[in-house]
Amino acid sequence: MTPFGKHLERSLRDLGREACLAALRDAGVRPSEVESGYCGNALAPALQGETGVGQSVLWEVGVRGIPVVNVENACASGSTALHEGWKAIAGGFCDTVLVVGVEKSVMPKGTMLNVGAAELEAQLGDVFPGTFALMAQQHMARYGTTREQIARVAVKNSGHGALNPYAQRRKALTIEEVLGSPMIADPLTLYSCCPNSDGAAAVVLATGERARRAGARAIRVAGSALTTGTYDARRDLTFWPSEIAAARQAYEQAALGPEDVGVVEVHDAFTICEIVHCESLGLCPPGAGGRLIEEGATALGGRVPVNPSGGLLARGHPVGASGVAQAVEIAWQLRGEAGDRQVAGARVGLAQIMGGSQQGDVRACTVHILVRD
Amino acid sequence: MGAPEPVVVKPGLFRYPVPVGEAPALLGCRCRICGQTFFPRREVCPDCFDTGAIEETTLSGRGVIHASTVVRIPAPVGIPAPYAYGYVDLERAGVRLFALFTGAAPTAFAPGQEVELVIGPIRVDAQGREVIGHMFRPAGRETDR
């Protein structure tokens, strides 16, 4: 993957090429051996006026003549590309697949990313931080979760990001800095929200036999689940049913449970999200996510480190790339290649991300479980 | 040149202008088979899958706030900060909807509070037209209505 951050002078092709070359070299796979390509990108049609980004990026590295699919599933675009690539391998259609996620979503200072603007809620004035602020308000009222507990997610993840050379925000924040940054939507402050970012990430997927032949230090995809919202207008705002379903499917596929997981990457676009995801992924009971972060269980050195990369909050969030970057991070962690942010001895990793909004529910959620055999 | 004509935020959500002598009301739909009510209107009941069973229905203009927040950044569509919004559970229909709050300070709204519907300008669009939408304000006493 590329470092995430502001790449004002670099194109989508340029970023994508760097990530694809790194993945192909790591896997010991030549471009001519790739049988199918999947590219996650969400915003290029709106922000750069580009379509067919997958073909553009793969052209850069000489991958041609094969099926290439562009995948848009909002913040879950990259992870959906991963899921589709996994299906191609698991279904027996391909032996080797290249998955890339790429995005340039850094906005001029003072402007907001105006995506999904045609939705009624957006037309009425809804903004992403507000959507998640409503969730935070509900979680606080229902479970007694505190502003401090929610802010601790940003403190933890900024601390992790400070250890990650690929992260956009590399400064560890104090709880005073998080709580004292400008209020965006009550109770979420500026540092409770992930930045807009540019960057790319890529992985090569292959059958076990093909991976062994390449001599790669392969990590097994033990579970891959993609779900859609239930769109129940009266749903409980303290969790997403689609995430519960995706987690259950992925755990069942992997024949593993939350107690087996040693390292986790989740969609912390806003601090409250991580608390909710920890609950829905079974790392703690419903409502206990605030205490889990407060006890330090999800920090590096804790029982089950969550977002050792810094997560979306610190690594940054190039929308279409984030889901692939999570898989890259988990793979590095399981191989023991994560440098200063290494989680000791993790054998099973989990990545969760979600995206889009429809009737107040999420449109897409993925959960991937990766295993070092 | 007079002010440009106002536009509704989305057609079909409510009658506009509000007919004289009528209370403002949202237009939803109801499935005649299972009885579920939806807002905004949809063409097919997601559970019954019968296009002929959807009928328009007028929703109660009173409800209770389910969740609320105050947004401190301007909305890209042109709403200056601060402003309040959240989800409102409408009386009777079982409908929960997203809406802006109005008629009191943004910090004055909280879950459990009774609110009533207002149809009016929510913002000005890029062409300088008033955009008419649905909002909720603190409910008056029954005798005031």
* Amino acid symbol at B111: P
What integer pLDDT is reported at residue A310 of this predicted model?
98
- Assess whether A20 and A103 both reside in one domain: yes
- Complex ipTM: 0.91
Q: Which of A138, A184, A360 sits opposite B98 (nearest CB)?
A: A360
What integer pLDDT is reported at residue A358 of this predicted model?
81
- Among B13, B48, B69, B122, which Cα is nearest to A125's? B122
- Assess whether A167 and A286 both reside in one domain: yes
Q: What percent of chain A has pLDDT over 70?
A: 98
What integer pLDDT is reported at residue A107 of this predicted model?
82
User: CA of A315 to nearest chain B CA: how many angstroms apart?
Assistant: 24
Let me know if residue A125 belongs to a domain.
Answer: no
Query: Residue B119 pLDDT more than 70?
Result: yes
| Structural domain count, chain A | 2
User: CA of B135 to nearest chain A CA: how many angstroms apart?
Assistant: 9
Give me the DSSP letters along A49-85. ----HHHHHHHHTT--SS-EEEE-BTBTHHHHHHHHH
Let me know if residue A358 belongs to a domain.
Answer: yes
Looking at every residue in chain B, the average pLDDT score rounds to 92
Query: Residue A215 pLDDT more than 90?
Result: no
A242: tokens are: 């689609």
- Among A243, A253, A255, which Cα is nearest to A279's? A243
* Amino acid symbol at A219: I
CA A174, CA A185: separation in Å to the nearest integer? Answer: 20
Let me know if residue A123 belongs to a domain.
Answer: no
Q: Which residue of B has its CA nearest to A232?
A: B96
Asked which of A183, A214, A245 is the last residue of a domain, the reply is A214
- Assess whether A172 and A230 both reside in one domain: yes
Contact state of A120 with B40 under an 8 Å Cβ cutoff: yes
Looking at every residue in chain A, the average pLDDT score rounds to 95
* Helices A12-27/A53-60 angle, 10° precision: 60
Is B48 in a helix, a strand, or coil? coil
Q: Residue B82: is the preceding peptide bond cis (ω within 30°)?
A: yes
What integer pLDDT is reported at residue A214 of this predicted model?
78
Give the helix/strand (H/E) hosting A355.
strand A348-358
What integer pLDDT is reported at residue B52 of this predicted model?
85
Residues B45-53: contacts with CB under 8 Å, at least 24 apart: B46/A231
Region B16-40: what's the mean pLDDT?
94
Residue A317 annotated to the active site: yes
- Assess whether A235 and A296 both reside in one domain: yes
What integer pLDDT is reported at residue B144 of this predicted model?
47
CA B120, CA B14: separation in Å to the nearest integer? Answer: 11
- Assess whether A156 and A304 both reside in one domain: yes
pLDDT-derived band at B143 (thresholds 50, 70, 90) equals very low
Region A185-189: what's the mean pLDDT?
97
Q: What is the pLDDT of residues A46-63, one digit of tens each?
A: 999 999 999 999 999 999
Let me know if residue A246 belongs to a domain.
Answer: yes
Let me know if residue A7 belongs to a domain.
Answer: no
Whole-angstrom Cα Rg for chain A: 19
CA B73, CA A318: separation in Å to the nearest integer? Answer: 22
Q: B38 contacts in A (CB within 8 Å)? A: 233
- Assess whether A273 and A353 both reside in one domain: yes
- Assess whether A98 and A149 both reside in one domain: no
- Assess whether A207 and A174 both reside in one domain: no
Query: Residue A369 pLDDT more than 50?
Result: yes
The domain that holds A91 is classified in CATH as: 3.40.47.10
Query: Residue B145 pLDDT more than 50?
Result: no
Contact state of B71 with A237 under an 8 Å Cβ cutoff: no
User: CA of A238 to nearest chain B CA: how many angstroms apart?
Assistant: 11
Q: B100 contacts in A (CB within 8 Å)? A: 124-125
Q: What is the pLDDT of residues A147-177, one digit of tens each?
A: 999 999 999 999 999 999 999 999 999 999 9
- Assess whether A154 and A39 both reside in one domain: no
CA B52, CA B45: separation in Å to the nearest integer? Answer: 10
Let me know if residue A252 belongs to a domain.
Answer: yes
- Assess whether A77 and A146 both reside in one domain: no
Q: Could you tell me how many CB contacts below 8 A there are between chain A and chain B? A: 88
Q: A270 contacts in B (CB within 8 Å)? A: none
Structural domain range at position A141: 134-191+220-371
Residue A224 CB-half CA count within 13 A: 21
What integer pLDDT is reported at residue A21 of this predicted model?
98
Q: What is the pLDDT of residues A295-353, one digit of tens each?
A: 999 999 999 999 999 999 999 999 999 999 999 999 999 999 999 999 999 999 999 99
Task: Say which DSSP state A346 is in.
Answer: -
Residue-range domains of chain B with CATH = 61-139 (2.40.50.220)
- Assess whether A57 and A144 both reside in one domain: no
- Kind of pairing between the strands at B7-8 and B130-138: parallel
Contact state of B71 with A121 under an 8 Å Cβ cutoff: no
CA B66, CA B69: separation in Å to the nearest integer? Answer: 11
CA A132, CA A271: separation in Å to the nearest integer? Answer: 9
Contact state of B72 with A183 under an 8 Å Cβ cutoff: yes
- Assess whether A143 and A206 both reside in one domain: no
- Among A346, A347, A353, which Cα is nearest to A368's? A353
Q: Which of B66, B95, B100 sits opposite A124 (nearest CB)?
A: B100
